[in-house]
A = this chain, B = another copy of it.
């Protein structure tokens, strides 16, 4: 029996307790170190290990055993939303991540600057990862020059080759396939309608028009001479985390997409620096005005995706060094986990369950001496779906009333 978000929401009560969710993106790993250890086992983490002793340890499945999640659904689960029911499509996520306030009816797409050769084939889907400054210049150029009848066009830079495109107009549709072919050596995909509606057919034409005009504007660029689109989507309709659970939510993240996701569920997104210590200093500055803090650490995932074991170890150690400053704030409830696993030997997100540490005055003591995959797999919190984390955090913060007499 799984109870839903509505059920938990009805039990939620006001309190002054502070809850902190520290997400090290892609935290779960696989044995691949010098002594067959995972990065989390190998890393020197005295602070996390000490905390683990009086915390509860377990693992969460982001979606369901065997299912590898994208970052969107993985975070939705951690925030307590059923990730299969509440879908945030890529385009909407990108728009939110660049601070673009989508309006009802807008269609947003994730956009990549790419390199296309003289025969029209994609040779680099990331345009050599152009600098972010360059991306911003080209986005401004495109936004000024692309003209589509009855459609307002926004092109906003994200990071390196990444951007968001938002199309505003009457009767637009998100039912058009990606133009990103997800491979090199072949041309961009044709923007085709993915349902039989007139709106989708018209939209396919608009996307084709955008792509053609963009290529014309960019044609002199040595690398970024094309813009690929994917994940066309309308603004999702999500209940606010703050309303659902009577929390004042604050998000601290260095990477735009996670800020965007947090904003979509109603969190206040605050500006922060680039290091984990900066992020925790930002939490400290926001402490009095909020009761729920989402801290996102990106480095663990990036290192995993690059297959870089050593860098992953260093990011974990950086997080551990930053932890005492977070503990000094005396959060009533602290959860440390990942949104999914990103084992270095897979160089990608994976389906493996994710280590989870939950600490409060009322967490049953694991009595473990380390925080890692092995200890969590035999931990006293067991193996739970990610969506159960939010109710557990609320319960430990005495923010849920009793069900039934």
Given contacts A365-B36, A382-B377, contact A391 B64 (CB under 8 A): yes
| A83 lies within 8 A of chain B by Cβ | yes
Q: Is there an interface contact between A30 and B63, defined as CB atoms closer than 8 Å?
A: no
Of the residues B64, B348, B392, contact of A351 by C-beta under 8 Å: B392
Q: Is there an interface contact between B68 and A403, defined as CB atoms closer than 8 Å?
A: yes
In the assembled complex, the Cα of A110 lies from the Cα of B405 at a distance in Å of: 11
Of the residues B31, B381, B405, contact of A90 by C-beta under 8 Å: B405
Which B residues are in CB contact (< 8 Å) with A11? 67
Query: In A1-48, which residues have CB < 8 Å from any B CB?
Result: 1-3, 7-8, 11, 30-31, 36
| A256 lies within 8 A of chain B by Cβ | no
Count this chain's copies in the assembly. Answer: 2
| A387 lies within 8 A of chain B by Cβ | yes
Q: Would you call the interface of chain A mostly helix, strand, loop, or mixed?
A: loop
Of the residues B89, B346, B378, B392, contact of A66 by C-beta under 8 Å: B392
Contact with B along A385-405 (1 / 0, CB 8 A): 101101111110000111111
Residue contacts A-B, CB under 8 angstroms, 27 given: A1-B63, A2-B64, A3-B84, A8-B66, A31-B364, A65-B391, A65-B392, A66-B388, A66-B391, A66-B395, A67-B400, A68-B395, A68-B403, A70-B402, A70-B403, A72-B404, A73-B403, A73-B404, A89-B405, A110-B405, A345-B361, A351-B392, A351-B395, A351-B400, A352-B364, A377-B379, A383-B384
Binding site for B on A (CB under 8 A): 1-3, 7-8, 11, 30-31, 36, 59, 63-74, 82-84, 87-90, 93, 110, 231, 343, 345-346, 348-353, 361-362, 364-365, 367, 373-374, 377-385, 387-388, 390-395, 400-405
